[in-house]
Amino acid sequence: MTNNSKILALKYRPQTFKDLIGQEEIATTIYNSIKNNNSTNAFLFTGIRGIGKTTFARIVAKALNCENSITNMCENKKCSHCIHITNSNHIDVLEMDAASKTGVEDVRELIEFSRYPPSLAKYKIFIIDEVHMLSKQAFNALLKTLEEPPKYLKFIFATTEVKKIPITVISRCQRYDLSRIKSEELFTYLKNITLKEKKIVEDNAIKLIVKISEGSVRDALSLLDRATISKNENNLTFENAQKIFGYIDKSSYIDLLEIILIGDEEKIINHYRNLYNSGVEPSIFLNEFLEILYFVKNISYIENEGTNFSLNDNDYKKLISLSKKIETSGVLLFWEFTLKTLKEIKLVSNPNLLIEMFLVQLSYLKKKKLKNNSYENKIKNTELKKVKNNEAISQIKNIKQEDEKIEKKYVEEIKNLDDLIKMCLAKKEMKLKYDLENNVNLVSFSNTKIEIAFNERLNKNFVKDLSEKLYDWTKNRWLISFSKDKGSISEKEKRIKLKEQNIAEFKNSNEYKNLLKIIPDIELIEINKKND
């Protein structure tokens, strides 16, 4: 069925460890463990859709049960075990979809079935796909068998949402996180398939498919199938691929940002209208634009090793160049204006007009934020009078005047991180308070400027949410930026250290030593001040 199937995702589904792409280290580890007869009781494969979790599970099942052993594992002419496992109908290899069988009764049947040794193969294997869908009771019922299964029993789990699996289950498994396939590897893989299928597909069209697939092999093959079927011929161009997928990639948004920085109003409007005519909704446009601003601000923290499919290599280089042209404060100002426009989009009957005016505003704002901008030098020359009559400069002047008139009275209330935490508590912003106390390593805190060390544990919307709240509370725009510096320890760690220090000091006091004489087994747990 697989070999003769016209569907590329099935036709080219890997059958052995050698066929897998992008997961060589994991494949080698599992291969060696099976070869040395030292394989784990339970495997757990995690990762996004379409990168080979179920395929990996079947290959492992075949490697454990192949009649020719793993060193001579079937490739072309398969043994009976490999044939039946490939076709998902082996009597000793049970595949279960946890999305449809989530209850404890289903797991109990599985456990009951596990008590009997395999009928034909060396191992009885349970492959459970989307295991995170099992109920809490089902997981609990599985725990004991999972920890101490019979020697002939193996579990192989696959999931896209590993965080939903109880830690008690994860700790009993050997976990393998399958990564997105790198763009170069996936491109080469698709290129070879087009050659085997005798289809002429432009390299740029394949690259577009790679980008849209976001590292998923199955998605990439399905898109290639769709594109070649849509054309109903063997020649696929880049332009045809774009029309078929209706895809506007991030390079279009990056190009728009470059035009904004140049300040060509006519090109800005035309570029946006082309995006809109391609099917981009105004709200989606603003969200995509926010993501580009995020990349410009944090590009120095983002590695581009072919695994980040939000950016291709050319986009990555463009963003590096853009980040050098515009200051952080300029990016954050753009960010604030974009958020403001996103909130106002539902207030107007024609959102397109709002977007166009928003983009024009940005083209004027950029002039006061670009690095090494020669604009201010020009307005000092002999053409000063002519420039002052220009409507664009008038708008910039108005913006500056408005910035100067913003109320400052609330800024004094937030002088340091402790004040900010107290403000979050007073305003009942508990998520922000939690991050500020537990995950923020402060580098500097000054008037309307906060610099923190980069921390992966921070909520992904932390900077955005905190910026919005600070603006609401203080009526000022705060610049919140990441730093390469290590920063101080978190407030929570400071409190823990202070308590430990207080306990240590008290233990050295005469008062405590006198207490020990009276009550030898006394234990000092915590010290609180009267005003705490």
Mean pLDDT of the 486-504 span: 82
Q: Is the pLDDT of residue 381 over 50?
A: no
pLDDT band at 61 (very low <50, low <70, confident <90, very high): very high
The pLDDT assigned to 158 comes to 94
Angle (CA) 267 269 273, round 5°: 115
pLDDT band at 171 (very low <50, low <70, confident <90, very high): very high
The owner of tokens 């400069």 is 393
Q: Is the pLDDT of residue 453 over 80?
A: yes
User: Quick check: 44 and 173 in contact, CB under 8 A?
Assistant: yes
Determine the 3-state secondary structure of 90 from DSSP.
Answer: coil
DSSP string, 284-311: HHHHHHHHHHHHHHHGGG---SS--TTS
Domains and CATH numbers, the chain: 8-177 (3.40.50.300), 183-245 (1.10.8.60), 255-373 (1.20.272.10), 411-483 (3.30.300), 492-532 (no CATH)
The pLDDT assigned to 214 comes to 80
pLDDT digits (tens, 9 = 90+) for 13-51: 998 898 899 889 999 999 999 999 889 999 999 998 899
The pLDDT assigned to 177 comes to 93
How far is the C-alpha of 264 from the C-alpha of 520, rounded, in Å? 81
List beta partners, residue 125: 93, 154
Q: Report which of residues 408 and 200 the model is more confident about.
A: 200
Write out the H or E segment, with its range, that includes residue 154: strand 153-159
The pLDDT assigned to 527 comes to 60
Q: Is the pLDDT of residue 376 over 80?
A: no
The pLDDT assigned to 64 comes to 92
Q: Is the pLDDT of residue 88 over 60?
A: yes
Top mean pLDDT of 217-231, 447-461, 511-525 is at 217-231
The pLDDT assigned to 523 comes to 73
User: HSE on the CB side for 234, CA within 13 Å?
Assistant: 8
User: Quick check: 506 and 527 in contact, CB under 8 A?
Assistant: yes
Lowest-confidence pick of 6-10, 348-352, 522-526: 522-526
Tokens of 285: 């446009």
pLDDT band at 345 (very low <50, low <70, confident <90, very high): confident
Mean pLDDT of the 212-223 span: 88
User: Quick check: 193 and 224 in contact, CB under 8 A?
Assistant: yes
| Cβ count near 197 (within 10 Å) | 15
User: HSE on the CB side for 179, CA within 13 Å?
Assistant: 17
Mean pLDDT of the chain: 81
pLDDT band at 246 (very low <50, low <70, confident <90, very high): low
pLDDT digits (tens, 9 = 90+) for 94-151: 998 888 887 888 888 888 888 889 988 899 999 999 999 998 888 988 888 888 888 9
Q: Is the pLDDT of residue 529 over 90?
A: no
Lowest-confidence pick of 125-129, 164-168, 427-431: 427-431
User: Quick check: 97 and 129 in contact, CB under 8 A?
Assistant: yes
